[in-house]
Amino acid sequence: MKLFRHGPVGQEKAGLVDADGVMRDLSSVVPDITPAVLDEAGLARLRAVDAASLPSLSASARLGACVGGVGNVLCIGLNYADHAAEAGLKVPSQPVVFNKHTSSICGPHDDMWLPPGSTRMDWEVELGVVIGTPAWRVSEADALRHVAGYCLVNDGSERSYQMDYEGQWVKGKSYPTHCPLGPWLVTPDEVGDVQSVDLWLDVNGERRQTGNTRTMIFSVAKVVSYLSQFMALQPGDVIPTGTPPGVGLGFKPPVFLNVGDEIRLGSPLLGEQRHKVVAVP
């Protein structure tokens, strides 16, 4: 099942992709895709809906982030060994954890803002995990039972804020529009083996990143279990799980984004995002 949200910013409604790939308005069943509908009973109710009976949507409809009411964005850094190498950093012995502020969340085709004076804005295609039921001190064997679904994430990063300023990475990861989610929230039954998901990203039509989750250092199950030892994960929490190699920071010399650049990223299972880099309105 593929769920999504559509409508103007701040007024998004629930949507469902039917078996023929047609986007349908689901708001007569549930008003929005929020933590309240992400547990097993909520998702079962949505699976039972006759999608053909729902109104269809125009292909040009604006899509919002695929889940609303996100409480936390908990990111995993350096989770692909070849990405750690291109960043000149040691492969971690345990997951590297940092936050993105929830105000950085935006839709999968929204513009991404270049911070004023920024010269080191970067891209990162990632698999995102959306928690469906509370997870507190769960085992690795049970961890995936707490997952409502998966989505595509672009972990936008201002590298100067992240690496040159003192303190935590969160400053370089949290600029508004630097966390596009979606287009779809894809349920686990449709994803299948989450450790075999292809990911790619292009900048201005040139392939920059190609990867697969099979090369993660820490699996999705390991990441969810690990985080749950330190915090009680809640429905709607989003976990971007790291990026494969090919980020701008890793080029020699580095290549970063400028106003007018176009980013496309995607996965055969998770859909595609498209963004234009713009000056802050």
The CATH number of residue 222's host domain is 3.90.850.10
Q: What is the pLDDT of residues 123-146, one digit of tens each?
A: 999 999 999 999 999 999 999 999
Q: Span 91-107, mean pLDDT? A: 96
Q: Is the pLDDT of residue 87 over 90?
A: no
- What was the pLDDT predicted at 180? 98
Main-chain dihedrals φ then ψ at residue 106, nearest 5 degrees: -150, 180
Amino acid 86: pLDDT: 82
The strand ranges marked E within 159-242 are: 179-180, 185-186, 198-203, 206-212, 238-240
Strands 238-240 and 125-131: antiparallel
User: What pLDDT was estimated at residue 84?
Assistant: 82
* 229 falls within a domain: yes
* Sign of the alpha-carbon dihedral angle for 271, 16, 187, 10: positive
pLDDT tens, residue by residue, 61-82: 999 999 999 999 999 999 998 8
Residue 44 falls inside a structural domain = no
Res 195: pLDDT: 98
How much is the average pLDDT of 158-187?
A: 95
Domain of residue 100, residue span? 69-279
* Mean predicted lDDT score pLDDT of the chain: 96
Residue 48 lies in a domain: no
- Split into its structural domains, the chain has a count of 1
Pairing, β 271-279 against β 125-131: unpaired
Instruction: For the full predicted model, state whether its pTM sits above 0.95.
Output: yes
Q: What is the mean pLDDT of residues 114-121?
A: 96
**Angular region, 260: left φ>0, alpha ψ -120 to 50, beta rest:** left
In a domain, 96, yes or no: yes
In this prediction, residue 88 has a pLDDT band, given cuts at 50, 70 and 90, of confident
**Domain annotation covers residue 17:** no
**pLDDT at position 124:** 98
What integer pLDDT is reported at residue 90 of this predicted model?
A: 83
